[in-house]
Amino acid sequence: MQTDSSFTFVLFGGTGDLSMRKILPALFEAHRAGGMLAASGKIVAVARHVADRGGYLEWVDTHVKPYVSKNGLDETAWASFLERIEFVKLDLGNPEDFALLRDAVSDLPGIRVFYLATGPSLFVPICRALASVGLNENARIVLEKPLGYDLKSSNAINDAVGEIFAEEQIYRIDHYLGKEPVQNLLALRFGNALFEPLWRREWVESIQITIAEELGVEARGDFYDNTGALRDMVQNHLLQLLSIVAMEPPHSMDSDSVRDEKLRVLRALKPIDQRDISKVAVRGQYHSGVIRGATVPAYATEPGVKPESTTETFVALKVEIENWRWAGVPFFLRTGKRLADRVAEIVVNFRPVPHSALGASALRAGANRLVIRLQPNETIRLYCLAKQPGEGMNLASVHLDLAFDRFFREGQMEAYQRLLLDVINGRLALFVRRDEQEAAWRWVEPILNEWAASNKPPKPYASGTWGPAAASAMLAQHGTCWLEEEN
């Protein structure tokens, strides 16, 4: 993925955790690869916690290096990367300071990319300040999640940003869409004749999408206690993955063709009647427990969390899509903190054969499935039945690994690296369009409203487990179970 596109990449929140862990390491990897970033491209970091460029480069050297040196650091590449970086000390609360930014970038080449690695409350003030000094022309703006607290606040942000930047200038980022297995899912479905005929209600029994974390809220208690898992993970990451899995084949891979098909899925989600929410939605909150031999605290005792908090740290949902392809197929979504393992995966359970001459084992649930692992190890596995060696026709589950690293010399590209290159090169397909975001909020809101009105607290679960028992019971009602329970 080589480019001659010159650019000026302006990073707001230049000393923040996201910049240190993800954004700058991704830009460095693209720089080190050679040819992915135009030689003339510049990175302009914006922050107020350091005094000058020298101080900022020291900060980067300390805080970014641990995330780029796991496999050994190329010091020559690192030194040349630092040469790309400029710095502007700027108080985001003072619009007059943006004249300093204008002066710093006015002579720099290429398209301007403004990456807002800040809290959402700063999105509109930053955009207005950029417009006040004429920096909204020949520019792209990248917005991190969460974009709003609900549909109303999301629309307010989108309306305000939309007055300054056109929709084709706005890149709403969801890093799960940049992961290699998600891209390979599209390739498997739409590039091969094998899977697409099976990708429908006649052959698929159920689909599970899980994003599980071992970590708690860490230092984000203040933010998380006003957000919760439904807003933080379901409204964006999980529903975006769902739309990728369930979408119809687009006529091409251009940005609007792909996003049109995702939007059709989001609009086809069966509305959840508030009277049925308790049957199809489980919310939980972690209590103290043991993870990898260490005792961890309960959510209510985490720094920044109110002791009486009813914020959910776990959500499990049963979702239905009301269209011809998926009618009657349950999609089970799950996310949570302080769970038994860190894993993100999509599990497609195919229906068993209608009749087996090989015995009952060929009819068992889960004999045929596709597992797309997004993290920690990005793989795709196809599970099927095979005869065990020896006497008799005894069947056992085996899997075929789609090990892309064996076929391609190039290493897998990290999600942020792919997405940042797409921004620089003007590719919108992997970014969320406004109407997608509105459709997701509109579907989620009845659950948010019901939980807010309810006096029932979230169901407790011990840290280090897979969440409340009610999440397993919900699947049991449909004759299935979560993948780890079967194993």
Q: List, as residue ranges, the binding site for NADP(+).
A: 48, 91-92, 145
**Binding-site annotation, residues for substrate:** 175, 179, 213, 232, 337
Query: Tokens 């899977």, residue?
Result: 195
The burial of 355, by beta-carbon neighbours within 10 Å (0-12 exposed, 13-18 middle, 19 or more buried), is given as exposed
Phi-psi region of 269 (alpha: psi -120 to 50; beta: other; left: phi over 0): beta
Which residue of the set 31, 49, 63, 237 is catalytic? 237
Q: What is the dihedral of CA 315, 317, 323, 328, to 10 degrees?
A: 160
Q: Report d(CA 113, CA 136) in Å as an integer.
A: 10
Rg (CA), the chain: 24
**Binding-site annotation, residues:** 48, 91-92, 145, 175, 179, 213, 232, 337
Q: Report d(CA 9, CA 7) in Å as an integer.
A: 6
CA atoms within 13 A on the CB side of 435: 11
484 SS3 class: helix
- Backbone angles phi and psi of 465, in degrees to 5: -105, -175
AA letter at 271:
P
- Backbone angles phi and psi of 194, in degrees to 5: -75, -50
Catalytic (active site) residue 63:
no
Q: For residue 33, what are its two tokens?
A: 């690869």
Contact 139, 114 (CB under 8 A): yes
Q: Report d(CA 337, CA 10) in Å as an integer.
A: 32
How would DSSP label each residue in 363-428? GSTTSSEEEEEEESS-EEEEEEEEEPSSSS--EEEEEEE--GGGT-SSPPPPHHHHHHHHHHHT--
The b-or-e profile of 169-205 (16+ CB within 10 A means b, else e) is bbbbbbbbbbbbbbbbbbebbeeeeebeeebeeeebb
Among all residues, which ones are annotated catalytic? Answer: 237
